[in-house]
Amino acid sequence: MTRLKQVARRENRSVNSFIEHALEKAAGLDFPKLPADFKVSEEILNLACFDLPRPTREELDNDPKYAYLYEKFIKE
């Protein structure tokens, strides 16, 4: 694990990011990285034909990862 941490640090990545990158390379996948302020257009959302349910405050309070993703990518 120490070696993995050293290699990840040398590439300025977290261990998780380094492993994800290595797996994507090994599988031949190349996913584009979206900018942090990326918003899905209303037209695309309408094509999806469904509305995402809004989480309750309790759900967000009980799940910090969900709250982070909701705040970053879904909340308008």
For residue 62, the model assigns a pLDDT of 92
Tens digit of each residue's pLDDT (9 = 90 or more) over 15-63: 888 888 888 778 877 667 778 788 878 887 777 666 667 888 899 899 9
Task: Let me know the angle formed at the C-alpha of 45 by 40 and 51, rounded to the nearest 5 degrees.
Answer: 125
Task: Let me know the angle formed at the C-alpha of 21 by 44 and 52, rounded to the nearest 5 degrees.
Answer: 25
pTM for this entry = 0.37
**Residues 70, 73, 74, 76: is their CA dihedral positive or negative?**
positive
**Residues 50, 51, 56, 62: is their CA dihedral positive or negative?**
positive
